[in-house]
Every structure is written in C-alpha cells, then in structure tokens.
A = this chain, B = another copy of it.
Amino acid sequence: MAKINQNYLKLPGSYLFSAIGKKVREFEAANPDKKVIRLGIGDVTQPIAPKIIESLHAAVDEMGKAESFRGYAPDLGYDFLRNIIAEKDFRSRGCEISPDEIFISDGAKCDCGNIQEIFSTDNKIAVCDPVYPVYVDSNVMAGRTGTYDEDRGQFDGVIYMPCNAQNGFAPDIPEETPDLIYLCFPNNPTGAVITKDRLQKWVDYANDRGSVILYDAAYEAYISEPGIPHSIYECKGARNCAIEFRSFSKTAGFTGLRLGFTVIPKDLKLEGVSVHGLWARRHGTKYNGAPYIIQRAGEAVYSDAGRAQVKEQIAYYMENAKLILEGLKSAGYEVYGGMNAPYIWLKTPGLMTSWEFFDHLLGRANVVGTPGSGFGPHGEGYFRLTAFGNRENTIEAIERIRWL
C-alpha cells in the first residue's frame, strides 16, 4: 500500500503567495468596479529590455533551422553563460569563482528549495525570522523539522534567528550551533542589508563550526550603497563554507522567463565529499537544463547594451522605492528597507496584526501587500510592500494609503 510523505501534512495552509492570490481574486470577484493595485508578491512589471528581446528572437530563429538547432543543453548550463557570469559577477569583484563552479538553473526559488536534498535529514537548519517561506517549507517537506507549533508560529527543531530593528534586521549568531544557515541579503522581506564585516563574522563562524551557509543573493543588483557585499565570496574563507544563489528575476525582469544560478565552490567539502559533485549529480539526474533561448537571454543581460537597459529598470524600481519610503514616512509610518532592496518593510499602525492590515489595505485602499507574519512570527506587526509596480500605480497606491 502506497503511503504519502507525512511531512507535507505538517505544513499549515497553503504557500503564502498562493493564499494571498486567492484572497485577492475573491475580493476582485466581489468588487469588480475597484481597481486593485498589487504591491504584494515580488513580481516585476517592466517589460524585458530591448537588447534581451533581440537576443531571444535570434535564439528562436536558431531553433527553427536544422543547422543551428539545439537539443538538450549541457546539464550544468552553456559555457557562454557560465563564462560571462564568472567574469562579470565574480572575478570583476575580486571573487575567485570559476565557470565550472556555476550551475545554471530555471531560478533561485527552485535551487533554494532543492539544495537541502544533498544534505542529510539530520542537519539542523537556522533561518532568519522573518524569512522567505521556501527555506523552511522545503525543509519541512524533507523531514528536517518537527511539527508546527500554532502558538509560537514556528516549527519545532528549527533555529529561528530574530531580525528586528535592534539588530538592523541582520541576525545575531544563535546560541545553538546550526548545520545549515540560510541567509538572504539584500533581504526579502525586510529590505535590509548586511555589512561586509558582519557577513565575514558569519563566514568565520561557519568555518569554525563546520556549518554551511546557504546565501541567497537574488537582490544583489539593488545594492546602491558602497561597502555592502554583493557576493558572499567577497568574504575570506567563503569558498570553504558557502553556497550562493543568484537570480535573473529581479535583476532583469525574468520572473516569467525563469533563469538563475547557484555557485558551489569546489573547496566546499563535507566528510571529505565534494558538495559540488553532489549538486552536479542532482542536476544530472533530476534536471535537464534551462532552455537554450533563455540562456541566450541571460547572456544578453551582460552585454553593454543589455546591462545599461537593465540598470535603467532597476533605477526605475528604486525611484518607486524612494516614493514609497518617503510617502509612508510623511504619513507617519515607521519604515525600513527600500535603500538597497526593492522591498519596503513597514510597521503596521497601532495594534493591528499583519493580516488585519492586509485586509484593511485591500478593503479600504484596494492595495495588495504581504503580511509580515506570513514570513514568520517576528514579522508579525510588519507589512511588506514592493517597488516593482509601475510608477503611476505606485504613486496612486501611496496616495490611497496616505488618506486611509
């Protein structure tokens, strides 16, 4: 008799963004005359840049001719893309990452969700609180946690590291030693960044304890201030203890194209085994490469024209972030983030819970945001807005919130 993976039943309710989507659809069905503005899920609104579109068309044409048709991609990605990433994202910043340490994939969400597979189910994980739900949920599914404690709003057996205004939303070293440490900077959902000194402390700690840092740098392109690390490999010793995830979703608007990559340095060894080799084996067995045309689109992001166009888009979103930050501040809200990240993290007014504020905002201002408590108990009383809307909607949303 076939049996299900009971760990799935530990997950309360549905995935956060699916739950929000359902609420919004219901509201819209009941209020067809209302114009809802979405600043909730972190989806972009700017179209794909012209240089990338040009590259997509060229690659599509190649697929239509026998002499240039491409079938299965190399398991770990095309060299043209791995080479340019190693050069432009890492070597140019002084990070010693070689092309064959880069694994091309269909996005950072998949990689962040799947990476835990190559580690033992005995490992204890540590996550920031609040946190992007995928890190915890994928470990729950794998049986690396206990059950969900409704009162605490946390899973047993997981080390939650509170991130709050006191510690600048960057976690302190926990009392109990974790085996796998998930860090994400610039942070989703808080929009916070970590200084190089503090990140170096984490790297030193991981090397000292034999822990592995799973570093999500999906929002790296939004860093505007100097002195903030773009990659964990800017820290000494990170090649021995860190895996880094990168995404084209927010960098170049690829949420609907799907492209990302994971870096696993060959120096990262556990019990004498190369972690790089384990991930290569997973890729080879359970994955079949990102589409050729999408990898060509990724390559175009690094061209001079592509880079300039993409920078313009990021500047556009960051202007939105500035408008949200300033608008909310002048309306009396306590706000964080929005300087080096496309996320604004605001304190809900008075004693309102995050979901109460969600309903309030949706019902009264017809604006969709993300309840902070959806990211963990320390997110309770907070709310996330994104800078990914278009200018007009962003301005209108802030106006509506100001008049609440």
Residues of A within 8 A of B (CB): 1-6, 8-9, 11, 14-15, 17-18, 41, 43-48, 50, 53, 56-57, 60-61, 63-66, 68-73, 75, 106-107, 109-110, 113-114, 117-123, 133-134, 137-138, 141, 179-180, 209-212, 253, 255-258, 270-271, 273, 275, 278, 281-282, 284-294, 390
Contacts and interface: CB of A to CB of B under 8 A. Distances in A.
Contacts of A284: 14-15, 17-18
B109 A106 contact: no
B258 A211 contact: no
Given A2-B212, A289-B258, A47 B65 contact: yes
A48 B64 contact: yes
What are the 9 tightest A-B residue pairs by CB atom distance, in nearest-first order?
A113-B286, A1-B210, A43-B71, A53-B64, A3-B120, A15-B284, A71-B255, A47-B69, A2-B179
Nearest to A6: B120
Contacts of A48: 63-64, 69
A340 B215 CA distance: 48
B138 A286 contact: yes
Given A47-B69, A180-B2, A211-B2, A258 B288 contact: yes
A45 B18 contact: no
Contacts of A46: 66, 69
Given A278-B5, A284-B14, A66 B390 contact: yes
A134 B283 CA distance: 11
A55 to B, nearest CB: 10
Contacts of A4: 118-120, 270-271, 273, 275, 278
A81 to B, nearest CB: 14
A286 B110 contact: yes
A64 B123 CA distance: 44
Contacts of A70: 256
A285 B15 contact: yes
A156 to B, nearest CB: 19
Nearest to A142: B117
A223 B278 CA distance: 37
Nearest to A3: B120
Contacts of A61: 53
Given A123-B2, A281-B14, A288-B107, A50 B71 contact: no
Contacts of A291: 106, 256-258, 291, 294
Nearest to A272: B4
A285 B209 CA distance: 30
A8 B60 contact: no
Contacts of A281: 8, 11, 14-15
A211 B93 CA distance: 54
A212 B291 CA distance: 31
28 contacts: A1-B209, A2-B123, A2-B179, A2-B211, A3-B122, A3-B123, A3-B271, A4-B118, A4-B270, A18-B75, A18-B284, A45-B66, A46-B66, A47-B65, A47-B66, A48-B64, A56-B293, A57-B60, A60-B60, A106-B288, A107-B288, A113-B285, A114-B286, A117-B141, A134-B285, A137-B285, A141-B285, A258-B290
Nearest to A106: B106
Nearest to A181: B2
Contacts of A180: 2
A53 B117 CA distance: 37
Contact of A256 (B73, B106, B133): B73
A241 to B, nearest CB: 9
